[in-house]
Structure formats: structure tokens, C-alpha cells
Copies of this chain bind each other. A is one copy, B any other.
């Protein structure tokens, strides 16, 4: 059954197998356009992060040109998008030296794949590789603007040490940072401040390197929250962001998207009821929704997801949520109001569930289905695993 294309099927069609990952075409379009406009307003290049959906069909609508630029989180994504004609990619995870042959192979296939690093040791490894292979690999130094994860502090001496350690074909072309800490606080003033700190930090790093004589062409920042609320990106050349394409409940709680802008959802089917507990069981568990419980630490905990009708409208004013999950079972219940009425949830009823986090939820599906007005209008390939 699943081997037949779902294009043209209604979401209620019996031969539409669940769980399935749906993308609302109109919401997707609006999300992609909003980001393009924002980048234009800020006078920077949009370099979308493709890790959220990993699909060339969406990437082509998201990028400013079919050749890029874009960002990837794995070399598998890089190979896939390079094979689909994208010619300007940053692999935005610190390079492991063992991966350099793969990087070179992708570059030799015609894609200008750039890598990032944040240590003298990695810089030496890349330089030695380039010398040995007589290869050129463009490198960005990762900068830590907020203590979130990796990178070098903008004011650190190490910044210049790393630049100096890049020799032979290991060419320093820029600096990159990610304001990951902007995800931590549900306060738009804090997000705006994070956007400013992200910019100030990376511009300081770029200026210090330029003062030392290095040409820094790329000054790259990005996260969906800071992109959304950045007010001034002077000194920045490009914005990277990913999850904005689909949106999710976590971003909604942050104040970054509205509920009616969330484009990704999981279609599922009612398979049982525990009437005495007011629970309904559906065939989407944590493998279908992901185990991401990001909203658990936000002001509104959506459990494993917010339950919507087949048309994407939240049921009963957002009171119905996936309160529990096993591998292939989701448990749905009312969290505040009256118990669910079993009569409202006949066996076989189709529901849509909005996820906590679009990226891990979309990742395991073989295909992503683009929908409009309750009908599947396209079946999108994407890449999975590593």
C-alpha cells in the first residue's frame, strides 16, 4: 500500500497509511517568504539550514537560488544536496579529521563545501590533510557568542592562534556562530538581546582577524529566534536558520511563530480508547513524534504534541494533547477541561498532531507529504541518517 504514491489522496483516504508526516503547503510558503523578506530587510544573505526537513524540494523553495547557499548538519546531507545541484554549502558541525576525505570528494563533485573548526589541533589536521592531498578546503572559525556549546570566544587569543594554524590549502574564509542560548528564555527582549550579542560577538571576531591581516569574507550568524527578532545585522554577511520553515510548538512557546504558522504535523489514526480514563490511543508513538519533550521546560507543556482535527485546527482550544507515548502508541487526553467523550473519537478517526520540535519529528520518515486543503499534493524525498 505504502509503495503507491499518496499524491491526490484525501487525508481521510483509507489507503493513506499512518503515521505520516505532513507539511501544509500554504504555511510552508508563508514561512519561507517571511524569512526571505527578513533577510532582505536586514541586507544579509539567507543561508537556510536544511537539517529540519533534509529535502531538496523544500530547499529549492527556501534558498535564494537553486545552487544555494545553504547549511547542512551532516556530510550525508551535503552529498545529497550537492548531488541535487547545490553548489555552496557550509557543514556547520566541527570537522572530525577522519571526515576530510569525504569533504574533499564532495568538493571535487563540484560543490563549494566549507567546514568549521574551533581549535589549533583541528586547524593543524586540516592543514596537514590539504598539504598531503594538495587540496583546498575553505574553513570558517566557529565563534562562541553566548557560551552555548562550541566555538572560540571573540576576545580570546586562541582565535588568532587558530587562524595562524590554517596553512597550505586550509583557507580561512570566515567566521560563524550560533546563538543557541536564544532557545532558553521565553522573553522577546532576551531574544532581541541574544541577536545583538550574536552580532556583536561575531563582528568583534571578524574585526580582530581582519586587523591581524586575514581576509574574512563570510560573517555568518543564525538561529530561528535571533533571525526573527534581529533588528540590525550590520557587519553580518549571512543568516542561517532552519526550523522556521516548518515551525513547532517549542518555537511557538518562545514567541517566534504563531500556532497557525506551524506547517509540520503528524497524521495518525485512532486505534483504541480507555473510556474509564478518558484516554484515546492513536498509532503515532514516540518514534513518530520523537521523544523531544522540549515544551516540558516552557510555560506550556504540550506533552508529545497538540492534537488537531484533520484540517489542522486544535481540538477544544488546545486542551487535547498527547500526554503519553510508547514506541508506536500515543495516548491522547484532555489536560484541563472535561474528559474526552469517547463518541468523539471513533476507531479509525484521523487526527493531526503538532510536534514539540520539527527537526527530530520529520527525521525518521521515508517521505514527507505536502498537503493543501486536506489533499496530498506532493510526495517529497528527503535524506536520513548519516
Could you tell me which A residues sit within 8 Å of B by CB distance?
1-2, 14-20, 51, 73-76, 93-99, 101-102, 105, 117-119, 121-122, 125, 142, 144, 147, 149-150, 180, 269-274, 277, 281, 283, 286-288, 290-293, 324, 326-329, 331, 346-348, 359-360, 363-366, 384-386
Contact = CB atoms under 8 A, between A and B. Distances in A.
A96 B291 contact: no
B290 A291 contact: yes
B384 A384 contact: yes
A292 B385 CA distance: 17
A1 B287 contact: no
A125 B347 contact: yes
Q: What are the 6 closest A-B residue pairs judged by CB atoms, nearest first?
A: A94-B271, A291-B291, A96-B269, A94-B272, A366-B385, A14-B98
Question: Which of A94, A101, A118, A293 has most chain B Cβ within 10 Å?
Answer: A94
Contact of A51 (B149, B327, B363): B327
Given A272-B122, A328-B74, A364 B384 contact: yes
Contact of A281 (B149, B366, B384, B385): B149
Contact of A18 (B14, B96, B283, B328): B96
Interface of A: prevailing SS:
loop
A242 to B, nearest CB: 9
Question: Which of A149, A271, A292, A363 has most chain B Cβ within 10 Å?
Answer: A271
Contacts of A101: 1, 14-15
A347 B385 CA distance: 23
A272 B118 contact: yes
Given A15-B98, A96-B348, A272-B94, A73 B366 contact: no
Given A2-B386, A19-B386, A364-B384, A271 B93 contact: yes
Given A17-B99, A119-B272, 15 more contacts: A17-B98, A17-B386, A18-B386, A96-B269, A149-B281, A149-B326, A149-B331, A150-B271, A180-B326, A287-B360, A327-B360, A364-B385, A365-B386, A366-B385, A384-B384
